[in-house]
Amino acid sequence: MPATTTYTTFLTPSVPGGFDRDDFVIDHQARTASCPGGHTVAINAKGAAVFGVRCRDCPLRERCTTAKKGRILHIGDHDPELVAARRAWRNGDFTNDYRQWRPMVERSIAWLVAHGHRRVRYRGIQRNHHGLTLRAAAINLRRLVNLGLIRGPTGWALTQCGPGS
């Protein structure tokens, strides 16, 4: 897919209790999408699979869409990864990794937004990116010092038994 595609895939069914994105079969190599009713359409250059008139006489229409012009799926650049992640979430395959890494990620985000840094300080993306990068570097340096970072005769090193290890 083109790198400029910015569509997202929504999991909320168009009709309550109806079909969502994971009920459709997407062939990324052939750039086609197939609906639960058996209709197959091409995915256009912008990542849209437009079922259009095929929905008009479909027996599954009331479970699929309320749109007068038929169902449209927007397939993003990372669609295969998102589908795999949702499948892993439903199957519980992620649980151990999630439990292992979530606390540290949450703690890092908390350190980043602490003390009035919840909003950006400057006007412009470049200045705010610079400010965020500097803040992250300072937090990382503080963490290394807490782990026992010292400057020895051969350079910087972590002590074997630093505080917090």
Query: Over 80: is that where the pLDDT of 13 sits?
Result: no
Q: Is the pTM of this model over 0.85?
A: no
Q: What angle do CA 22, 24, 28 make, to 5 degrees?
A: 100
What pLDDT is attached to residue 75?
93
What pLDDT is attached to residue 97?
80
Angstrom CA distances, 122 to 93, 111, 117, stand at 41, 20, 11
Give the CA dihedral 55, 57, 62, 67, nearest 10 degrees: 40
For residues 88-97, average pLDDT: 82
Euclidean distance between CA atoms 107 and 85, whole angstroms:
23
What pLDDT is attached to residue 147?
85
105-146 tens-digit pLDDT = 888 888 888 877 778 888 999 998 998 899 889 988 888 888
CA-nearest of 46, 15, 39, 43 to 29 is: 43
Angstrom CA distances, 147 to 26, 79, 108, 133, 151, stand at 48, 40, 15, 21, 13
Angstrom CA distances, 13 to 21, 50, 96, 103, 127, stand at 8, 16, 29, 32, 40
For residues 47-58, average pLDDT: 93
CA-nearest of 129, 131, 164 to 145 is: 164
CA-nearest of 100, 140, 134, 98 to 117 is: 134
